[in-house]
Structure 1
Amino acid sequence: MMNQYPQALTIAGSDSDGSAGMQADLHTFQALKVHGASVITACVAGNSYGIHDSVTMPLSFINQEFKDLADDYQIRAAKTGMLGDSDLINTVVDNYQQYDFGPLVVDPVIITKHGAMLLEQSAFDTLKTKLIPLATVITPNFYEAQKLADMEINNDHDMLTAAEKLRNMGARNVMVKGRHDSDDQEEVKDLVLLENGDTFWLTGKYFGTDRKNGTGDTLSAGIAAELAKGNSVTEAIKVAKAYVDRAIQNEILVGHKFGPINHWATEDID
């Protein structure tokens, strides 16, 4: 029968050096054995030294991408990445409400791992009120969780409080990624708060490397890939986390400065 192979969708920008954004998502889908489709929202010109230019796709083009995929494919899960302004977020929301593309993983690309704001306030407000309520899973980094929850996170209890605030915004399941920007730390703790109120922690070794571009994209794409296979949210998060850890640990030397993680490092991932 047609369309029986699991298919996942990335709704994100194209990163010209292949280390993050849509390219990282498609690398992840391929590694985890799902077919990857894409709705391209923007194009970024950059390399391992930084981003140097970008353009946003016309909204009419984005609408056509959604329609064409819905007319032919059976997308079983999707994820969002960087959505730069309110008009773009609203366009994605309108299309996701119109078409059935399965569970949605929202990677709220708001603040970098170093604390720099990426969205203007109007776009941030639209993301909170329009996109987050559609999320089956939301995966903020430490700083994004603080911004979304409007609070400082200083301990495990604070992280749980922040996760509860995100769930109250409409996200059904929340994964708050622990802080990982200190050279002297030994481990990273991520918190998962499930729809039924259960919680669990994912604790892993901290890897001190500059080869971490696309980590957040890859995690959210990994969750979407596993959901597309029919796995539970818990299983999807655990598989995606294990995949990301292995991809960071087994680094590849690509680019001169901040390089990509290793999407080939898939052995022993169940």
Structure 2
Amino acid sequence: MKKALTIAGSDCSGGAGIQADLKAFSAHGVFGMSVIVSVVAENTSRVIDIQDITPDMIRKQIDAVFEDIEVDAVKIGMLSQPSCMQAVAEKLKEYKPQNVVVDPVMYAKNGCPLMQPEAIDTLIEVIIPLADVLTPNIPEAEKISGIEINSPAEMEQAAKRIYEMGAKNVLMKGGHAAGDALDILYDGKQFYYYNAERIQTKNTHGTGCTYSSAIASNLALGMNIQAAVEQAKHYVTTAIKHSLSIGKGHGPTHHFYELYKNGLKTIEKSK
């Protein structure tokens, strides 16, 4: 069985962060492991508080995984402050894992900041160069690139600028744009386009975490980057289409819809 590690924050409501990552790994038949860098007290409506794990404990968690288990892909999510980023970067340089997918999480679904403003420079300097794939949404890409994005052409321009910062591939997510949900992948040579209908739902909590974890899973399974993104795009679109109305705010996506659907078919056939 292939194995993937998520390095991210913990969402106690189960829709995003470590919890969403592990669900996405499992849905792809990949064994999931986790390093928690922050504990976030949040639900579908608000972020109540954040407590960061010490850099020393982050390093020890990473050591615990890599000294014992082969890692086929790493997904990096919420890193709230420079010291967390430095600890993670130090260990990734030491262990040199393949298939590092970085989701530069800056805001919760309700808009609450999850990354300290002063940490963006550290993100650019020490984390982005380690990314085999960087998956910013439009607000995140604007912060990183300094480019205002209002069109696919500006998404491409920002992707090129971020690629020059060291990421091997940049996937610009268009979920915050108008019209269809167009994502653009840039590998330094050409652009690849992934389009899907925009689904009208407020239940999109954890979509970025889920998408990036699906990409990491597919890379761990041996897909090339274009196929990994294509399959992950289909997976997250399905998860959003069948999202769950749980909680009073932005409910979570349905990580196991296909599994549950196929399981119900099997039960019906056996009757």
TM-score normalised by length of structure 1: 0.91
Letter of the 1:51 partner, please give it.
V
Structure 2 gap segments, 5+ residues each: 263-271
CA contact (8 A) 1:112 1:143 kept: no
Counterparts of 2:67 and 2:164 in 1: how far apart (Å)?
34
1:197-236 correspondence to structure 2 within 5 Å: 197-236=189-228
Letter of the 1:189 partner, please give it.
L
Residue 61 (structure 1) shift = 1.4
CA contact (8 A) 1:113 1:143 kept: no
Alignment RMSD:
1.8
- Please name the residue that 1:191 is paired with: 184
Of residues 51, 57, 63 in structure 1, which corresponds to 2:59?
63
Letter of the 1:56 partner, please give it.
D
Residue 252 (structure 1) aligned with residue 248 (structure 2): no
CA contact (8 A) 2:26 2:32 kept: yes
CA contact (8 A) 2:144 2:162 kept: yes
TM-score normalised by length of structure 2: 0.91
CA contact (8 A) 1:113 1:142 kept: no
Structure 1 gap segments, 5+ residues each: none
CA contact (8 A) 1:12 1:21 kept: yes
- Please name the residue that 1:261 is paired with: 253
Letter of the 1:203 partner, please give it.
N
- Please name the residue that 1:92 is paired with: 88
Counterparts of 1:116 and 1:68 in 2: how far apart (Å)?
31
| Bigger mean CA offset, 23-32 vs 61-70 | 61-70
- Please name the residue that 1:240 is paired with: 232
Counterparts of 1:40 and 1:115 in 2: how far apart (Å)?
22
CA contact (8 A) 2:46 2:110 kept: no
Letter of the 1:218 partner, please give it.
T
Choose between structure 1 and 2: higher helix proportion: 2
Residue 115 (structure 1) shift = 6.6
Same amino acid, percent of matched pairs: 36
- Please name the residue that 1:176 is paired with: 172
Of residues 99, 102, 114 in structure 2, which corresponds to 1:103?
99
Counterparts of 1:170 and 1:255 in 2: how far apart (Å)?
39
Counterparts of 1:253 and 1:158 in 2: how far apart (Å)?
34
Residue 23 (structure 1) shift = 0.2
4+ aligned runs moved over 3 Å, structure 1? 111-118
Residue 154 (structure 1) shift = 2.2
Counterparts of 2:161 and 2:15 in 1: how far apart (Å)?
31
Residue 25 (structure 1) shift = 0.2
CA contact (8 A) 2:78 2:115 kept: no
Counterparts of 2:170 and 2:244 in 1: how far apart (Å)?
30
Residue 128 (structure 1) aligned with residue 124 (structure 2): yes
Deviations 1:232-262 (A, max 9, x none): 1111111111100000001222112211001
- Please name the residue that 2:135 is paired with: 139
CA contact (8 A) 1:149 1:162 kept: yes
| Bigger mean CA offset, 37-46 vs 130-139 | 37-46
CA contact (8 A) 1:180 1:206 kept: no
Structure 2 residue matching 1:74: 3-state secondary structure: coil
Cα gap change, 1:13 to 1:90, in 2 (>3 Å): same
- Please name the residue that 2:157 is paired with: 161
Counterparts of 1:266 and 1:190 in 2: how far apart (Å)?
23
Cα gap change, 1:121 to 1:46, in 2 (>3 Å): closer
Counterparts of 2:39 and 2:113 in 1: how far apart (Å)?
19
Instruction: Give the aligned length.
Output: 261
